[in-house]
Structure 1
Amino acid sequence: MAKYLQDFSNGPLDYYRKKASFDWKKMKVFLFTEEVVEFKQQVYKELQEHSMFIPQDILSTPSFEEQRKISAARTVNLLKLPSFSLDKIFANVKFQVAKLKIMIDLDPSATIKNSIAYGMFPSAIQGLGTDRHTDYIFDSLSGKIIGAYCLTEFGHGSNAKSIQTTATYDKKSKEFILHSPNFEAAKCWAGNLGEMATHAIVYAQLIMPGGINHSMHPFIVNIRDPDTFLPYPGIIVGDMGEKIALNGVDNGFVMFNQYRIPRVNLLNKNGDVTEEGKYVTPYKDPNKRHGASLGALSVGRVVIIGLCSTYANSALTVAIRYAAVRKQFGPEGGEEVSILEYQSHQHRLIPYLAAAYILQIFSEYIGTVQFQIILDSFGGIQNEQSVELGLELHAISSGGKPLAGWIVRDAVQECREACAGHGYLKAAGLGDIRNSNDANCTYEGENHILIQQTSNWLLKFWPLILNGQQFKFPLGSVDFLSNAREILNSKFTCKSVEQFAHPENILKMYQWLVCYLLKNSYEKYETLSKTMDPFWARSESQVYYLKNLAIVYIQHFMIQRTYITLLESQDPQIQAVLTKITALYGAWTLEKHIPTFYEGGYATGSGLVTLLHSTVLNLCKDLKNDVVALIDVIAPPDFLNKSVLGKSDGLVYKHLEDAMLRRPGATSRPSWWKEINEWNNASLKSKL
C-alpha cells in the first residue's frame, strides 16, 4: 500500500508530523485510491523529464509575451505526454480529475487553455452536435485544431438570450451569414481566442428568411488558418490584453462582417435548418431548448470548482507549514512557541483547512460525475435519468462554483495575512494564488447571478412538497425534501459539544435551513408577484431569501458527500479525523446562519450559540496536531510548490535566505546610482 509515496525528509515539521493521529499515506490512498496515487506519480515523473514543465523561478514575473509563450507551449505539448495521450482520455474517469488538478498546480493558465481546447470545446460539440460534427471532435482531441467557446459579448454576458451576433440563413448558397452589428456584439473573454484558436463555438441569433428569429443557437466557426494562424477575411479577431492574473490565457474578442459558414456548421442537436430553409427542433418550448443549449456550461463550472479546490490546497500548504515552523513569543522565561499553538491562529486557519478538505472531496466527486457523463456521451451510453441528472448537475455546479470561489477567495486572503510580512513576498506564492482565484468569482457566470440558477431550480419544489411529492434525484442532493414538513417541525435539541459535533446532527440543522428558506423564499416571491411583474418579484426576493437558500443547499450537499465518503473508510483513525473535519466545517459555516435559526423558531435561549462556538474552538484545538499531516495529504509536490514558505522540508528560513540572495541584483547597487548622486548633489548646491 502507498508504495509510491516517499517519507518526507527530516526537519522542523517533524514535531507535528510525529503528533498526527493518523497515517497520512493511508489517508491519501483512501481519498484518491491507490491506482490514482500511482497514476499521479507517473504524471509527476513525465513532467519532470521535460524542462518546459518545470515551473519558472517565482522571484520575478515573466513578461506578458513570455507568459503567453510558456502557457501555449505547455498547452499543446501536454498532449505529447503518455499520460495525456488520446487513448488515456477514455480510460479511468478519476485519472481525468487527477490530471486536471496536477495541471492547475503546474500552470493555471495552461490548464484553462487545455481544458477549453481539449475538454470544453469537443464535449460541447458532442453534446450540442450530431454525427456530422464528429470529425471536429477528434481533430480537437488529437490537437489538429484549437478550440474556443464564444458566448459572452461586450454588451451581454449573463443575459445570453439578448446577444446581438446574428446568423442569417441564405437559402441560395445554403450558408449562414455571421454578422456583428456593432462593437457591443463582439464576442469577448473567450479563452484561446486572442492568439491561438483556429475554431470556435459561436452563439448567435438564428435568423431565417423573412426575418424570423429563432433565438440563440451554437455554430462551429473557422476563425484562423491552422497553418498560418491568420484570421480569415470577414473576421476581426484580437487579444484583450493584460489582466490581473492568468495572463498565459489569451482571452480574445472577435467580430464578424458578413462572414459565411456552411449550413452544416450549425450544431443541430436542439435545433436545425434544412437545405430548403425550414427550421426544425425537438423542443416546443424555446426556453427548454435554450437551457439544453447552455447545458455544456456545467463542464466549465465543474472545472472551476476543481481549480478552487487546488488553489485552496496550495494556499493552506503555505500557511499551515509556515505556522508550524514560525515561532513567536511564549511564557515568561520559556522558549518561543509555534504560532500554530495560539487559539487565534488555529481559528484563522484550521476551519479553512477543513473547508479545503470538503472542497477536495466534493470536487473529486462532482468532477467524476461530470467526466463520466462526457465519456458516456462519447460512447453512446444513455443514462435512464439523463434529464434529471443534467438538471441536478446544472443546479449543483451553478451554486457550487460561486460558493467554492468565495470560500477560496477568503481562505487565500487569510493565509496571506497569517503569514504576515513574509506572506506578502512574491516568493511566498500567495499573491499569485489569490489573483488567479479571483477570476473564479466571475467567469462561467458572475457568482451573484449564476447562483440564481440554483435557487430558481429549488423554488419550484415547494408546491410539490405541499402536494406530498417524494423526491428521488440521481445525486440525492434534494431527496430530504420529501420530509420537509417534518423537518420544519423539528427543534434544536443538542445538549453537549459531542452531540453538536456529530455530522448527522449538523446535516439535520442544514436540512432545516434549506426547508425554512425554501418555504420563506417561495412565499416571499408569491407575495411580491401579486403586486409586480414576476421578473421583479424574483429580483426583490434575492437578498436574505433566494441567495441564502442556494448557499445552504450547496453547503448541505458538500457536507453530505463528505460524510458519505468518510463512512466508507475502514480505518478508525482516518474516519475519526475526517469526522472532525466535517464537523468543523459544518459548525463554522453554521455560524453565519444563527439569526435564521432564531427567526424560524428552531432554537431559543443561548444553547445553540454557546455549543456552536465551543464546538468550533474545541475542534480547532483537537485538529491542531493533525494539520501538518493533513496538509501532507493534499499538498502539491515540492517541484510544483511555488512558495519558499511551504516546502515539505519546513526549512523556511533557508529558502527565504536563498531567495533573498539569488534574486539578480539583490546585493548590488542599482544601475541608476550615479543619477541619484547627481540629483542629490544638484539639490544640495541649489540650497547653498
Structure 2
Amino acid sequence: MANCLSDFPPGPLDKYRKLASFDWKQLSLFLNGEEFLNYRNELYNEILKYSVLLEQTDQTPTLDELRRKTTQKVFALKLVRDSVTARTNCNYADMSFAESSLAYLLDPSASVKRSVTFYMFTSVIASMGTERHRHFIENCLNGEILGCFGLTEIGHGSNTRGMRTTATYDPASRQFILHSPDFQAAKCWVGSLGQTATHGAIFAQLVTPDGIKHGLHAFVVPIRDSKTLVPYPGVKVGDMGEKIGLNGVDNGFIMFDQYHIPRENLLNKIGDVTEDGRYVADITDPNRRHGAALGNLSDGRINITSVNMCYLSKAVTIAIRYAAVRKQFSATEDDEEIPILEYQSHQHRLLPHLATFYAFRTFCKYLLEERDKFQLLLNKKSIDVHRITNTGLELHAISSACKSLAGWYARDAIQECREACAGHGYLKASGLGELRSNQDVCCTYEGENHVLIQQTSNWLLRLWPLVLKGKSVSTPLNTVEFLNRAPQILTSKFTPNSFEELTEPKNILDTFQWLVCYLLKLSFEKYESLKQHSLHSVESKAFWAKNDSQVFYAKSLSIAYIQHLILTAMSDKISKAADFKIKTVLEKLFALFAVTCLEKHIPFLYAGSYASGPTAAVLIQDSILRLCKSIKNDAIALVDVIAPPDFIVNSVLGYSDGQVYKHLEAAMLRAPGALSRPSWWKEITNWKKNIHSKL
C-alpha cells in the first residue's frame, strides 16, 4: 500500500487530518483495491513524462491555439493509456474509472476529444458492426484514422425518430447515398468533427430502393482525407464556433449532398441490406430495432455519470480544504478565529455533496461492470435477441436516470462550492469557474436531462400492470425485484422514532422501496386518469397523458428509483468492510446521502400516508444536521481519499498542503500585467481629449 498512496505535505490541514476517526489510506484501499491504485499511479507517472500535459499558462489562449494544444494532449493521453494498459492486469471497469477520473480532471477538453476520437467511434463499430468492420477499429486505435460520432441534428436531438439525414441504397452502384435535405437535417454538436475527424459513425434513416424507411442505422462514413484533412466532395463540414466551455473540443456540423459510401459501411449487426436491395434483420419489430440501434448510447451516459462525479470530487476537494483553512469570526474578541468548516451552515452546504460522491463512487463501479457485461453480449457472434433486448432496456432505464441525476448533483455541487469559497472562489485560479463551465454540458449532451429521465419512468410504468395482475416482475439486472412485494410494501408505515432507527440501512432501503412503489402507483394512476378524461384525439391521448404526468409524478419516480439503486450498491459495499472505523464512516456517508434525498421526498411520505404527525419531517431534518456535524472532523481525510494529485487539482484554494494564502499571493503576482500600468494608460489620463461626441 505504501507504493500506492503517499503522505501529504505538512501544513494548515494537519489539524483536521489528525482529527480523522479512520486511516484514509485503508479507506482508499477498501474502496478502490490495490490493482486500481497501482494502475492509477502508473497513469500519473506516465503523464509526468509528457510536458504538453503539464503545461499551464496564466494567459487565455486564442481558440486556434487552444485547439492545437488540446489535440496535442489527445495524442499524448492516448500514448499514456496505451503504454500503461499494455502492462496492467487491472480489470476494464477499474481502468475506465481510473482513466476518466484522471483525464477529465487534467484536461476535460482533451479527454472528451480523446474519448470521441478513439473510443466512442470504435465502441459503436464493435457493438453494432461485424467482422467486416474490424479494420476500421484497428486503423482508429493505431491512429491512422480519427473518428467521431454523429447522431444529433440541428432540428432534432431528443426525438431521434424525427431525424432526417437519409441513407438510400442504390443497387446499381451497390452503394448507400447519404443526403441532408436541408440545414435542419445537418448533423451537429459532433465532437472532433469541426476540424480533425477523418471518419464518423453517422446515424441516418435507412431507405431501400422500394422507398421504405427502416429507421435509424449507423454507417461508417469517410469525411476527410486522412493525409490532407480536406473534406471529400459531397461533404460540407465545419466548426460550430466558441462555446460556454470545453472549447478545446472542435464540435462540428456536417451535411451530405448525394454522398456515396460502400454498402459494406453499414454497421449490420441488427439489420443489413443485400446487394440487390432487400432489407434483412434478426429483430423484426421496428420499435425494438430502433432501441437496439441506440442501445450503445447507454455506454456514453454511463461514462458521463462517472465524469460528473469526477467534477464533483474536484469541487468538494477545493471547497472543503479551503473551508478547513479559511478562518472567520470568533465567539469573543480574545478567542482565535474559527475555520468556516466549523459552522453548521457551511457543513450543510458542503458535506452532503461529499456524501453524494461516495454514494456514486460505488454505484459507478457497478454501472461500469454491468456495461462491460452487456458489451460482451453485444460482441458475441450469435445474438440472443431476447436477452440483449431486455438487458439493454433495463440498462437504458438505469443510465438515463443516473446520467440525469449525476448531472444535476454535480451542477449544484460545483455552484455551491464556488459560492462557499466566496470571493476567492470567483478567481480563475480557484479552478471552480472553469470546472462549472466544463460540467455544464453534461446536463444536455447525450440527452437533455429532463427529457432523458422520462425513459426511466417509461420502463417502470410498463411493469406496474404486471403488479396489478399479480404476475411476477423479473428483469435481467434485478433492480426492481421488490415490486413483487408492492402490495405489502404499500401498507407499511414510517416507524423510526430516533436518529439511530432512521439511519439504520435496512430502514432507509425500506423507505425508498415504499417511495418507488408509491410513486409508480401514483404515476400510473395519474397517466390513466389523464388518458381517460382527455379531450385530445384518440391517437394523441396517450402522448399528452404521458407529457402531463411528468412533473411531481413520473420524474419523481425515476429519481427515487435510481436513488434506491445507488443506496443498494453502497449498502452492499459497506457490508463487506471488515474495518469497524471504515464501516462506521461509510455508514455515516450512506445515511447523509439518504436523508438528504429523503428531505426532498417528505411531501410524498405524508401524501401517501407513510408518515403522519411531525416526527418524520423533524427527524429527517435533524438527522441531516447531526450527520454533518459527525462527519465534519473526518471531512479532510475523506477528501484526501478522493483528491487527485496537486498538478491535477490545480487550484490555489485546494492544494494538499493547505497553503491557501501563499498560493493566492503567488497567483496574483504572476498574473500578466498585475504590477504594471496598462499599455493604454494615456487613454485614461487624457480621456477628455480622447472621448468626445461625434455630434
Structure 2 length-normalised TM: 0.95
Whether the 8 Å contact between 2:304 and 2:442 is mirrored in structure 1 is yes
The gaps in structure 2 that reach 5 residues or longer are: none
Deviations, residues 279-307 of structure 1 (Å, cap 9, x unaligned): 11112210000000000101110110011
Maintained 8 Å contact 1:90/1:375: no
Q: Distance in 1 between matches of 2:605 and 2:2?
A: 45
In 1, are the aligned partners of 2:350 and 2:417 still within 8 Å (CA)? yes
User: Cα 1:463–1:495, aligned 2, differ >3 Å: closer, same or farther?
Assistant: same
2:683, 2:690 within 8 Å by CA — same for their partners in 1? no
- 1:79–1:85 contact (8 Å) kept in structure 2: no
Q: Is the 8 A contact 2:59 2:672 kept in 1?
A: no
> For the Cα contact (< 8 Å) 2:13–2:636, is it kept in 1?
yes
**Counterpart Cα distance in 1 of 2:325 and 2:450:** 39
- Residues 376 and 50 of structure 1, relative CA distance in 2, 3 Å threshold: farther
Matched residues in 2 for 1:415 and 1:453: separation?
31
Question: Is residue 367 of structure 2 the alignment partner of residue 366 of structure 1?
Answer: yes
The alpha-carbon deviation at position 85 of structure 1 amounts to 6.4
Helix, strand or coil at the partner of 2:215: strand
Corresponding position of 1:431: 433
- Partner Cα distance (1:347, 1:91) in 2: 37
Gaps of 5+ in 1: none
State the distance in 1 between where 2:85 and 2:590 align.
Answer: 38
Q: 2:685 matched to 1:677?
A: yes
**Cα distance in 2 for residues equivalent to 1:558 and 1:235:** 45
Task: Measure the CA separation in 2 of the matches of 1:672 and 1:236.
Answer: 43
Shift of 1:375: 5.5
The alpha carbon displacement at 1:670 in A equals: 0.8
Counterparts of 1:26-41 in structure 2 under 5 Å?
Answer: 26-41=26-41
Q: For residue 282 of structure 2, what is the aligned residue in structure 1? A: 282
The RMSD of aligned alpha carbons is 1.8
Q: Distance in 2 between matches of 1:114 and 1:627?
A: 34
In structure 2, the partner of 1:522 is 524
**1:350 paired residue number:** 351
Aligned to 1:193: 193
Match of 1:492 in 2: 494
Which piece of structure 1 moves more, 111-120 or 534-543? Answer: 111-120
Per-residue CA deviations over 1:562-621 (Å, capped at 9, x if unaligned) read 111111111111110000001001001111111111111001000001110111010000
Paired residue secondary structure (1:147)? coil
Matched letter for residue 257 of structure 1: D
CA positional deviation for 1:540: 1.0
- Deviation per residue, 1:350-395 (Å, 9 max, x gap): 1111112112222222123324443665576989954433222111
Paired residue secondary structure (2:178)? strand
Q: Which moved more, 1:319-328 or 1:86-95?
A: 86-95
TM-score w.r.t. the length of structure 1 is 0.96
Choose 673-682 or 173-182, whichever is displaced more: 673-682
Q: CA–CA distance in 1 between the matches of 2:487 and 2:319?
A: 44
Provide Cα deviations, 1:66-123, integer angstroms capped at 9, x if missing partner.
Answer: 2211221111222223655675799621122211211111111111111112221111
CA change 1:682–1:75 in 2 (3 A) is closer
1:664-685 deviations in whole A, cap 9, x for unaligned? Answer: 211111111122112146789x
- Native 8 Å contact 2:374 2:392 kept in 1: no
Match of 1:64 in 2: 63
Q: Is the 8 A contact 1:86 1:142 kept in 2?
A: no
SS of match in other structure, 2:168: strand
TM-superposition CA deviations, 1:458-517 (whole Å, max 9, x none): 001111112223344343321211211111110000010111111221111111111001
Q: Equivalent of 2:594, from 572, 581, 586? A: 586
Instruction: Tell me if structure 2 keeps the 8 A contact 1:2–1:34.
Output: no
Q: 1:542 aligns with which of 546, 550, 569?
A: 550
Which residue in 1 is equivalent to 2:168? 168
Q: 1:682 to 1:43 in 2, by over 3 A?
A: closer
The 3 A distance-change label for structure 1 pair 376 and 56 is: farther
In terms of mean alpha carbon deviation, does 184-193 or 142-151 score higher?
142-151
The alignment partner of 1:81 has SS state of: helix
Q: What amino acid sits opposite 2:23 in the alignment?
A: D
Aligned to 1:47: 47
Farther off after superposition, 33-42 or 621-630: 33-42
CA distance in 1, matches of 2:26, 2:383: 36
Which shifted more, 286-295 or 661-670?
A: 661-670
Contact 1:68 1:247 in 2 (8 A): yes
Per the TM alignment, residue 447 of structure 1 is displaced from its structure 2 partner at its CA by: 0.4
Give 2:336's aligned residue: 335
Map of 1:501-580 to 2, 5 A cutoff?
Answer: 501-530=503-532, 531=534, 532=536, 533-580=541-588
Give the % identical residues. Answer: 53
Structure 2 vs 1, CA of residues 672 and 276 (structure 1 numbering), >3 Å: closer, same or farther?
Answer: same
Cα deviation 1:259-298 (Å, max 9, x = unaligned) = 0001111111111110011111112210000000000101
Of 330-339 and 650-659, deviating more is 330-339
Question: Which residue of the partner structure matches residue 253 of structure 1?
Answer: 253
Q: Aligned partners of 1:156, 1:599: CA distance in 2, in Å?
A: 38
Matches within 5 A, 1:144-183: 144-183=144-183
Instruction: Name the stretch that deviates more: 235-244 or 69-78.
Output: 69-78
